[in-house]
């Protein structure tokens, strides 16, 4: 499967640090973690849109729709497990309705998105064996996490670059 271009919301420094603390806790426990992917472009984020290509009109529309809504305070409302035998562990996010509507409008206008709707989340680990999920939950605990999303960025996998819009 080709790598997808993405538009992503990123947290402020405090939110980045809080998510990285989760990554580190999983890593220190010998579990799958986003720290297993040391590329400098691998930072905490919330994916808004992921497509084989993103044209300038979609990028411009994203800036218009989302830019005025930032910064935006969100709260992690729990952990979720996505996938089959190897899972992705995420923190689900409670997002203001205005931001949710804007993202859904953007996604509706962009063709090619493979997932309907939007499930706002921050990824903590990918390809975690399902039998390790309970241990990961025990490591992370049950506390909610507050984040402030402050910027919209574009990930270009062909160029291996991230650009703040």
- Which tens digits make up the pLDDT trace of 13-29? 999 999 999 999 999 99
pLDDT of residue 1: 55
Domains with residue ranges and CATH for the chain: 5-154 (3.90.1140.10)
Compute the average pLDDT of residues 89-108: 96
pLDDT of residue 83: 92
Residue 50 scores a pLDDT above 80: yes
Q: Where are the beta strands (DSSP E) in the chain?
A: 5-11, 46-51, 72-83, 86-94, 121-129, 145-156, 161-164
- Which tens digits make up the pLDDT trace of 120-150? 999 999 999 999 999 999 999 988 899 999 9
pLDDT of residue 114: 74
Cα angle for residues 133, 85, 156 (degrees, 5° grid)? 90
As a whole number of angstroms, the distance between CA 43 and CA 163 comes to: 13
Provide the whole-model pTM: 0.93
Residue 35 scores a pLDDT above 80: yes
With both helix axes pointing from N to C terminus, report the angle between 13-28 and 133-140 in degrees, rounded to the nearest 10.
Answer: 130
């Amino acid at each position: 499967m080709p790598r997808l271009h993405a538009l992503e919301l990123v947290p402020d420094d405090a939110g980045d640090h809080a998510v990285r603390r989760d990554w580190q806790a999983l890593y220190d426990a010998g579990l799958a973690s986003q720290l297993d992917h040391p590329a400098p472009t691998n930072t905490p984020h919330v994916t808004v849109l992921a497509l084989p290509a993103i044209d300038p009109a979609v990028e411009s529309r994203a800036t218009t729709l989302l830019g005025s809504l930032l910064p935006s305070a969100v709260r992690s409302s729990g952990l979720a497990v996505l996938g089959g035998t190897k899972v992705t562990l995420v923190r689900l996010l409670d997002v203001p309705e205005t931001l949710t509507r804007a993202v859904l409008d953007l996604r509706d206008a962009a063709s090619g998105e493979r997932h309907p709707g939007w499930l706002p989340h921050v990824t903590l680990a990918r390809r975690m064996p399902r039998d390790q999920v309970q241990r990961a939950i025990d490591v992370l605990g049950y506390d909610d996490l507050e984040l402030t999303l402050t910027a919209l960025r574009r990930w270009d996998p062909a160029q291996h670059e991230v650009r703040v819009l």
